[in-house]
Structure formats: structure tokens, C-alpha cells
Amino acid sequence: MRKPLKITLWTIGALVALPTLTLVTTSIVNVVATTSDLAEITSYGELVSVDGKEMNVVVSGSGADTIVLLPGLGTAAPGLDFQPLVSELDDTHRVVAVEPFGTGLSDQTDSPRTAENIAGEVHDALRQLGIDRYALMGHSISGIYALAYSHLFASEVTAFIGIDSSVPDQPGAEEPTPTDGLVALRDLGLLRVASAVAGDAYAGLPYDEATKEQMRLLTTKNSTAPTLLDEMDATASNFASVRGETFPADLPVLLFVAQDEADPDAGGWLELHEIQAASVDRGQVVALDGEHYLHHTQSRRIADDTDEFLAG
């Protein structure tokens, strides 16, 4: 009886030790790889001083009108992610892709990630660039930040263009965004493993390999850093802060909405944007085939319709 018992104990010990050894290995690999990743990140855009820190912006084109691009939540490198859209817009406009704190090459910040703080920081960056008249074009959560922005700096904003932008009172808006455990998963190297297993997140999209690699490196750097985690934690309160809010009635509003035929809630999502557009004197909704990141696949259409809308 003693020999089978010994074999059983060895088996149990091996089963317990194997996951532990695996996690130790992935943790060590993650530390080494993270150091290597940081060394491989290359500069782009220009840095401006905001609140004693540096914010990165990418300015392109020299048109008479200026369009300021604001990213969705979790976009790790907005100046690169917006490239397909920038290349379509900058023939006729000056385009400014802002990388808010905690994204791209911008610094981290301890300032709470409220909609008002984010709006104020973006405004300070534009002021440093001498830009005081512009249309805001925002993706996803930036639809909420733009609401705050349009009231704080109403005299400067000439229009709002939403790219599948968030709207007040959308279903689930005030539910907390789960962040528990993300840092632990990062430190254990499991997020890196999951990313490797998932493969190329930008496959088939209009980015060259060098750009895709930089976006991957910046995703690793920023996706679980304190500023983004704070912004994720603040999502519910930011939605609550604009509950029932509308854009100023005299602000032109153009909303591009992802109309995914496979999504059973697509009709309701479109209706929410139609309600928002109807709240201003000149509002328009354009439904486009595609998923949430419409600027990855519909940049030409977005640029054409934006040109026409702003010219009007």
C-alpha cells in the first residue's frame, strides 16, 4: 500500500507545482519582455506642456479648418490608431490627433479622470498649439467628454462629429467597468500570453507592420497603467455627470453610427443617436456598416461626409 500512496503524493505535488512554475516563468518573461518593449518604442508627434506634464499630439495637414480627434476608452496609441482617418482628412483640413494622459506617448497623471478634467487638459494642449477654433471628432467615450467640453469651451467648438460615440443614458452606461485583477494578470505575464494567443489584432486593416508593432508595444505599456485604470474606474461616474445633457442647440452635430446587421440591439443604438441629433438645430446621423472602430474600415466615407457637413 505504501508504494501507491507515494506515487499519489508525487502526482499531487507535481499537479500543484506545475501551475506555480508556469506562473513564475511567465512573470519573469514578462519583466524581461516589458523592458525590451519600452526600448523599442519610437517617437512620433510632438509634446506639449499641460499641467506640468507632457501630452503628445500629432498634427497633420494645413487646411483652413481644424479637426481635433479624441480617442475611445482603452485606445493605447491614438495618434497611430487614427492614421487611416487622418490620411483621408488632412488633404482638406488641419488634423490634430490628441493623446490624452495615459495614452500613446503622453505622461501618466494623478489627476482624477473626470470628464471635466480630461476636457480641460485637452483644451490646454490646444491652447499651447495656438488653436482656438476647431471641430471635435470623438470616438466612443469621447462623445461623453465632448459634451462636457462643448459647454466648458462653447465659443471655440465649431461642430461635433461622433464616430460611434457614446451617448448619455445609454443602456449599461452607469455600470462599473471591471478592472479588478488586471494588474495581477499583467504582472503574472498572463495578459501577454493572451495577446500572443489572440494573434494580430490589426490583421486586414490599413496599417503597415511597423505601425502595428508600435501599437502593440504601446498597448503593453499603457493598457494596465494607473491612468487608464483610473479612467476605467471613473466611467460610470462620468456617464452620470452628463445624464440628460445635450449639446448646445446651435452646435452642428454629425454622428456616424455602426450598424452591425448581426447585432440585435443595433436599432436601439441608432435610435439613441437620432435622439441626440434631434436635440440640436442642425443634427445628422449616418449609419455605416461595420463595428465600433469605424475609422479603421470606413475612413474614406467618414472623411467625405465630414467635408460635406462642415462645408455646409
**Does residue 17 belong to any structural domain of this protein?**
no
Count of structural domains, the chain: 1
**39 pLDDT band (50/70/90 cuts)?**
confident
Task: Assign residue 268 the CATH number of its domain.
Answer: 3.40.50.1820
Domain boundaries, position 141: 46-311
Q: Does residue 19 form part of some domain?
A: no
- How confident is the model over 192-209, as a mean pLDDT? 74
Quick one: average pLDDT of 18-44?
60
Write down the pLDDT at residue 195: 57
Alpha-helical (H) ranges within 41-131 are 78-81, 83-89, 115-128
Classify residue 9: in a domain, yes or no.
no
- On whether residue 38 sits in a domain, the answer given is no
Query: Would 73 be classed as within a structural domain?
Result: yes
Beta-bridged to residue 139, according to DSSP, are: 163
Q: Is residue 60 part of a domain?
A: yes
Question: Cell numbers 497611430 correspond to what residue?
Answer: 80
| Res 13 pLDDT > 60 | no
What pTM did the predictor assign?
Answer: 0.84
Q: Which residues contact 104 (CB under 8 A, 6 or more apart)?
A: 45, 56, 76, 77, 78, 79, 80, 218, 222
Banded pLDDT at 8 (limits 50, 70, 90): low
Is 5 part of a structural domain of the chain? Answer: no
Q: Is 27 domain-assigned?
A: no
